[in-house]
Chains A and B, each alone.
Chain A
Amino acid sequence: MIVNVVSPEEEYFSGESTMVVTRTPNGEIGIYSGHEATVATILPGGLTIEHSGGKDSYAVSGGLLQITPEKVTVLGEIIEKIDGDHEAAILRGKELVEDLTEQDS
């Protein structure tokens, strides 16, 4: 399936992938090709994309997930590429949100 990861400022990933892992209000989900068409919110945390070249992990401050059977689109507000595994991305994603709320107050 095709996966696109975009933020308002740039495109982070675009290409073929075998599985996408992220966290929605219903819990951590893994999306394979052929998933039912869904729109869900993404909670602050990690996003991991598995593809033929390995795994890419990103920290996400929250956003949206649009799934169709052949395509997954991730719209994140703030995205950061992480050198590390999914756990590291989750931690960094939560930090991103804390940074944001600190700025507001």
Chain B
Amino acid sequence: MASAELRIINRRIKSVRSTKKITRAMELIASSRIVKAQNRMKSSESYFGLLSEIVQDLINNGAVPKIDAKDGKEKVLLIVLTSDRGLAGAYNTNILKIADNRRKEIEQSGKDVEIVTVGKKATRYFTYRKINVSSGYEGITDSPEFDNALEVMTPITDKYYKGDVSSIEIVYTSYKSALTQDAVIKKILPLDPQEVESKSSVTFEPSGEEVLNSILPKYANASFFIFFLNGSTSEHAARMRAMKAATDNAEELIKVLAMKSNQARQAEITTEISEIVGGSEALSDAS
């Protein structure tokens, strides 16, 4: 006959154990995905590296992209990259904090802001605060494909070329290692010319301007894809760490509860024994 206290404690142990199983499984899934995501990051970096080399060459050679500039207020397009799901520690909070600060900063400097969100968390954050989100994408942050990057970026680069927006910025989480990921803001377009001497004389076919014009959207797509992969890798890393901490906490809690449960059981047994002894003494006294 278990006492009420013992029953309650045992029930809690059971529930903590099943929570631990879930967090442990999530930790394992996240850690296996990190490896995959890291490999994809590496293979896309060679493409991006070569592309930025060519772009830099073009800009150093004095090529200027043709953009129909429009009069009026300057407009900054801010892409906010978060995850669809929670339980990833401070991953989303960090990004959203920076994104919202940046939005206020741009507005204070007298420019318009257009927000594009990738990931359910970002969309919810802004719509909840009644901030207009021009387009939101969901279901692509878990393992981003290049097609997904095109889907997001094509309308954005179109706007840039039409002169509807004057610059494109992105808030994402840069993946440094399994332990460090930083939420950062990067400018995708326009490109700033770097003061580097051009090394070689390269012929551009058909012309520098035309190559640059056809390259820039590719460059924007590729850089977005890199940021996208960074974000997704960081998400898995953040989730792995959060779930590891949760598993450890659950283990700790189980230890404490087991101790309490043992104490309660012992107390129960002691009470029972003293009841029996008391009972038998009362009987022998009576006889």
Contacts and interface: CB of A to CB of B under 8 A. Distances in A.
Interface residues of A, number: 27
B205 A104 contact: no
A64 B218 contact: yes
Interface string A89-105: 00000000000100110
A26 B206 contact: yes
B146 A6 contact: no
Contacts of A73: 50
B225 interface: yes
A11 B46 contact: yes
Nearest to A36: B203
A41 B205 contact: yes
Contacts of B211: 39-41, 64
B215 interface: yes
B202 A7 contact: no
Given A39-B205, A64-B54, 4 more contacts: A10-B43, A25-B210, A37-B203, A39-B202
Interface of A: 4, 6-11, 24-26, 36-41, 63-64, 66, 68, 73, 75, 77-78, 100, 103-104
Interface of B: 40, 43-44, 46-48, 50-51, 54, 57-58, 145-146, 149-151, 154, 200-206, 210-211, 214-215, 218, 221-222, 225
25 contacts: A4-B50, A6-B47, A8-B47, A8-B48, A8-B222, A9-B44, A11-B43, A24-B205, A25-B205, A25-B206, A38-B202, A38-B203, A38-B205, A39-B202, A40-B206, A40-B211, A41-B206, A41-B214, A41-B215, A63-B218, A64-B211, A68-B200, A75-B54, A100-B150, A104-B154
